[in-house]
Structure 1
Amino acid sequence: MSHHDKGDEGMEVRREVLGDEHVDRATANATAFTRDFQELITAYAWGEIWTRPGLDRRSRSMITLTALVARGHHEELAMHVRAALRNGLTVDEIKEVLLQCAIYCGVPDANTAFRIAQQVLSDEGAL
């Protein structure tokens, strides 16, 4: 599959996982300076990795939440809590992922993650 095809496939998955509103905003805000980066993450992260058959999207969401907590990427965490709901995780499953993170990533990081997730889940009407 060509880079262009992976970009098209990646855009489809990106929209399914993150939602049209988020993707439309990200692409509309792309500049001449950031456009290549947007294309890279669409083709590589979404077209190459999220489309692989070895893990389902629920599992990929759990892994992504954990990695974002571990690295302290709070802006991305909020986006991926929404994505986790779209990918079929329940509120209780998201809570369990964050509890697991408290042990392996640290209580302060999990504390922040719980605060962010609670706000997102509330905004989404899940709580």
Structure 2
Amino acid sequence: MPMLDPADRSQTGLDTEARSTGRDPVQPKTLLEESWRDFVWAEVWTRPGLPLRARYLVAMATAATCNLEDGQIDDFVRGALTNKELTLAELREAALHLAVYAGWGNGGRLDRAVTRVAEELGLPPAEVPPIRGEAWDPQERNDEGHAEFDKVMLFPPGPPKTPYLQGINNFVFGEMWRRRGLDEPSRRWITLVGVCESGAEIPIRSHIHAAMASGNCQPDEMLEFVLQYGTHAGWPKASRMQMVILEMIDKVAKGLPWHAPKA
């Protein structure tokens, strides 16, 4: 196998940085910055296994939740807009979705980045519908949440007996997941970042399984997701996702549920 020329690798990184961020590339001054150019940009971002739209969603969601600098979040938002992978309205929806799965503080970091970049690019405000624009019957909202949960998670929800479960049923699935301004596969990628960051066993396993069993995310894409996620969240966190994804690829292929059947 031929060796890669270091100069070509570095130039590929600079070219990819410029294309992916919508700004001029920055020559690195430290070893860490060189690793961004020569590995993150030159190798990870040029891989074909994950659609660019998904790569942006994973990158910006992970950047917002893993304490990357505001300018780095801005880079991913600007790149998504200038490359027409996401619209301003879709990015507003993405910030709301991230707030649900990673906390309103992290969703707010992404939302503020969207605002900064929109102002930088001179974009008019995005037109997005309100959370709910009309009155509703509580039972209707409950039923809509149940139906959406079943559709998204591929198993029926239990009765919402606690305030937490009511919030999941009524807002998370009854309203947020039912918003059609962001497609379901895109919501999956943001959700996966949120549950990965949580470290919570049931959400990790159930959402990874549902992402593939629904057909929204393909097994090869999920494996690429681990690499993209790991560049910002770190290899130890990504290793946990790698193990669960490999397990769920096998379960989905065999038509098995994400959990072991009850005895």
TM-score (normalizing by structure 1): 0.81
Letter of the aligned partner of 1:74 in structure 2? E
CA distance in 1, matches of 2:202, 2:220: 21
Equivalent residue number for residue 14 of structure 1: 149
- The equivalent of 1:63 in structure 2 is 190
Note if contact 2:188-2:216 (Cα within 8 Å) is conserved in structure 1: no
| Cα distance in 2, alignment partners of residues 3 and 95 from structure 1 | 41
Q: Which one of 152, 162, 179 corresponds to residue 52 of structure 1? A: 179
- 1:1-127 alignment runs, 5 A limit: 1-20=136-155, 23-24=156-157, 27=158, 35-36=161-162, 37-85=164-212, 86-125=214-253
1:62-121 Cα shifts (integer Å, max 9, x gaps) = 110011112322321110011112152111121222211101111101000110111111
Counterpart secondary structure, 1:54: coil
Alpha-carbon separation, structure 1, partners of 2:201 and 2:169: 20
Q: Which amino acid letter does the alignment assign opposite residue 117 of structure 1?
A: I
Measure the CA separation in 2 of the matches of 1:53 and 1:59: 11
**Counterpart AA for 2:217:** L
* Contact 1:10 1:48 (C-alpha < 8 Å) held by counterparts: yes
Query: Does the 8 Å CA contact 1:57/1:87 hold for their aligned counterparts?
Result: no
Pair 1:106–1:71, CA change in 2 (3 A) = farther
Residue 118 of structure 1 aligns with an amino acid whose one-letter code is L
Deviation larger for 83-92 or 106-115: 83-92
C-alpha distance in structure 2 between counterparts of 1:82 and 1:17, whole Å: 11
| RMSD value, Cα | 1.9
* Counterpart code for 2:223: K
CA distance 1:118–1:3, change in 2 (3 Å)? same
Q: How many Å apart are 1:40 and its aligned residue? A: 2.3
Q: Secondary structure at the match of 2:253?
A: coil
Equivalent-residue separation in structure 1 for 2:215 and 2:151 (angstroms): 9
| Distance (Å, rounded) in 1 between the aligned partners of 2:215 and 2:182 | 12
